[in-house]
């Protein structure tokens, strides 16, 4: 049988993973990426090579803006304070389930990536303690076991049940706070009324209940490793080559127009679904489909990066979670993380004798563009860092606060349904964190790649 040619539009982590999986199944794969680098939102930026303008432009491409900076961003660049730092677009952290999946897919090639890990900590009154202690875990064991053993059928029954209802029913003592915090961390949404219990449990199970992980040298290292795997295994990567149009004839995707016209058997789009109709003629899709896709909302957050001149060695390598009550944001309480894995010298993200701290607090995309809400969220971030490092300001070299209103491509809420991987057009598929696949963020993007591999493998 003729080997099928697949075109993937976008070299985000979803597109790259799909390419790696399809190559393994014998498909011929070409990826088109509009930017000069792979990675999309899983981006890490070498700050020494940036100017104020280039940094701002990079952030703008990914719906991100620096809202606050200390000192001013202009001064940070003028004084070369960013030299030697590598920063992602904003806070990133991945679950152990993601690491396991990538190891499965890439085999030996993944050995080039060194993963640093932490359990989740919280600032107790006078010490740093585990968020869920061993005693907490034993007390919750029956519930945890039930979660790990529950089938997809049970998850589906819980898909329409809000976390508010679940917490009312099961949330007692420590279990209550764990459900409140985990549901928010997993969904990147603060409002428990709109978070689906099924989705939270499914993701929690998929993440393997492990701690949090971050790769040495930044998240981009993972994407670069997948890209190397693709090229080594015969895939073609066209960087700096935006797709201008998907060729659709007789309700069938037949190729793309990029630097020239290309013919393909299958076209897979990894771009934000809200932008699909900038490269596909919307007249060729059902009107309802177009309207729904354009209206889909993402999720947001305010991040904080802090460069500190000194640090308590006990803190280095630990990841903290916090919940800040009554902030008046949607959901009223907001959850966030403050991470010191990035402060480890072997993380390779900061120059010698500087300690990089990454943090974020969840908000809605609307709040991520509202200076007043952002001011409240910034104060919450700083206050929680202060709780962990009293008078951290005396050690502060610089701090920047990027706000993002497209953290997840599409928010997974009870009302907001992610589109299917299969589109109404034959041979045109969608992948990435915008589509229906288990998990949120990177997990969703990787799972969508696994699903497209199954769909295409079955259909040939």
Ligand X SMILES: Cc1cc2nc3c(=O)[nH]c(=O)nc-3n(C[C@H](O)[C@H](O)[C@H](O)COP(=O)(O)OP(=O)(O)OC[C@H]3O[C@@H](n4cnc5c(N)ncnc54)[C@H](O)[C@@H]3O)c2cc1C
Footprint on residues 75-94 left by ligand X (CB under 6 A): 89-94
Exposure string over 118-148, b if 16+ CB within 10 A, otherwise e: bebbbbeeeeeebbbeeebeebbeeebeebe
Question: What is the closest distance, in whole angstroms, from the C-beta atom of residue 67 to ligand X in the complex?
Answer: 13
Question: What is the closest distance, in whole angstroms, from the C-beta atom of residue 310 to ligand X in the complex?
Answer: 26
- Mask 1-20, x = binds ligand X (CB under 6 A)? --------xxxxxxx-----
Q: Name the CA radius of gyration of the chain, rounded.
A: 22
What would the two tokens of residue 81 be? 């304070």
State how far the Cα of 97 lies from the Cα of 77, in Å rounded to an integer: 38
Residue that the structure tokens 């699903």 belong to: 451
Closest CA to 33 of 49, 15, 51, 20: 15
Residue that the structure tokens 């200076």 belong to: 371
Determine which residue in the list 408, 428, 452, 456 makes contact with ligand X, applying CB under 6 A: 408
235 binds ligand X (CB under 6 A): no
Footprint on residues 386-405 left by ligand X (CB under 6 A): 404
242 binds ligand X (CB under 6 A): yes
Considering beta carbons, is residue 92 or 184 the nearer one to ligand X? 92
State how far the Cα of 181 lies from the Cα of 184, in Å rounded to an integer: 5
Question: What is the closest distance, in whole angstroms, from the C-beta atom of residue 275 to ligand X in the complex?
Answer: 6
Site size with ligand X, rule: CB under 6 A: 37
419 binds ligand X (CB under 6 A): no
Question: What is the closest distance, in whole angstroms, from the C-beta atom of residue 195 to ligand X in the complex?
Answer: 16
Determine which residue in the list 158, 338, 433, 456 makes contact with ligand X, applying CB under 6 A: 433
32 binds ligand X (CB under 6 A): yes
Strands 128-130 and 120-123: antiparallel
180 binds ligand X (CB under 6 A): no
State how far the Cα of 373 lies from the Cα of 327, in Å rounded to an integer: 9
Considering beta carbons, is residue 44 or 109 the nearer one to ligand X? 44
Task: Count the residues in the chain.
Answer: 460
- Mask 148-177, x = binds ligand X (CB under 6 A)? ------------------------------
Footprint on residues 50-69 left by ligand X (CB under 6 A): 62
Residue range at the interface with ligand X (CB under 6 A); choices 28-36, 325-333, 344-352, 369-377 = 28-36
437 binds ligand X (CB under 6 A): no
Applying CB under 6 A, the residues found at the interface with ligand X are 9-15, 32-35, 40-42, 62, 89-94, 242-243, 270-271, 279, 303, 404, 407-409, 432-433, 441-443, 445
């Amino acid at each position: 049988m003729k080997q099928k040619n697949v075109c993937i539009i976008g070299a985000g982590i979803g597109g790259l993973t799909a390419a790696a999986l399809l190559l393994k199944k014998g498909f011929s794969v070409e990826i088109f990426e509009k930017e000069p680098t792979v990675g999309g939102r899983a981006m890490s930026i070498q700050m020494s090579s940036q100017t104020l303008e280039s940094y701002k432009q990079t952030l703008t491409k990914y719906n991100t803006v620096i809202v606050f900076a200390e000192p001013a961003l202009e001064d940070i660049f003028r004084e070369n304070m960013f030299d030697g730092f590598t920063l992602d677009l904003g806070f990133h952290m991945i679950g152990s389930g993601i690491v396991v999946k990538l190891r499965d897919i890439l085999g030996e090639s993944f050995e080039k990536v060194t993963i640093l890990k932490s359990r989740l900590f919280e600032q107790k009154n006078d010490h740093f303690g585990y968020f869920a202690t061993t005693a907490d875990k034993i007390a919750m064991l029956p519930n945890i076991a039930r979660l790990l053993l529950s089938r997809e059928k049970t998850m589906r029954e819980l898909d329409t049940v809000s976390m508010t209802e679940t917490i009312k029913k099961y949330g007692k003592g420590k279990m209550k706070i764990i459900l409140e915090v985990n549901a928010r961390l997993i969904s990147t949404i603060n409002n428990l009324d709109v978070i689906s219990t099924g989705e939270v449990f499914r993701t929690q199970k998929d993440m393997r209940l492990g701690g949090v992980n971050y790769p040495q040298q930044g998240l981009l290292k993972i994407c670069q490793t997948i890209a190397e795997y693709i090229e080594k295994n015969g895939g073609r990567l066209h960087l700096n080559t935006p797709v201008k149009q998907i060729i659709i004839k007789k309700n069938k995707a037949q190729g793309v127009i990029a630097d020239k016209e290309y013919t393909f058997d299958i076209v897979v789009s990894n771009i934000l679904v809200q932008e699909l109709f900038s490269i596909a003629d919307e007249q060729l899709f059902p009107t309802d489909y177009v309207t729904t896709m354009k209206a889909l909302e993402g999720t947001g957050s305010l991040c904080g990066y802090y460069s500190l001149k000194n640090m308590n060695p006990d803190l280095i390598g630990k990841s903290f979670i916090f919940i800040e009550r009554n902030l008046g944001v949607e959901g009223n309480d907001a959850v966030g993380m403050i991470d010191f894995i990035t402060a480890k010298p072997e993380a390779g993200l900061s120059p010698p004798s500087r300690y990089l701290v990454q943090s974020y607090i969840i908000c809605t995309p609307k709040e991520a563009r509202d200076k007043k809400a952002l001011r409240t969220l910034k104060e919450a971030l700083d206050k929680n860092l202060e709780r962990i490092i009293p008078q951290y300001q005396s050690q502060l070299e610089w701090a920047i606060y990027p706000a993002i209103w497209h953290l997840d491509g599409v928010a997974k809420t009870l009302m907001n349904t992610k589109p299917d991987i299969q589109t109404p057009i034959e041979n045109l598929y969608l992948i990435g964190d915008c589509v229906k696949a288990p998990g949120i963020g990177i997990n969703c993007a990787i799972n969508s790649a696994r699903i497209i591999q199954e769909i295409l493998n079955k259909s040939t």
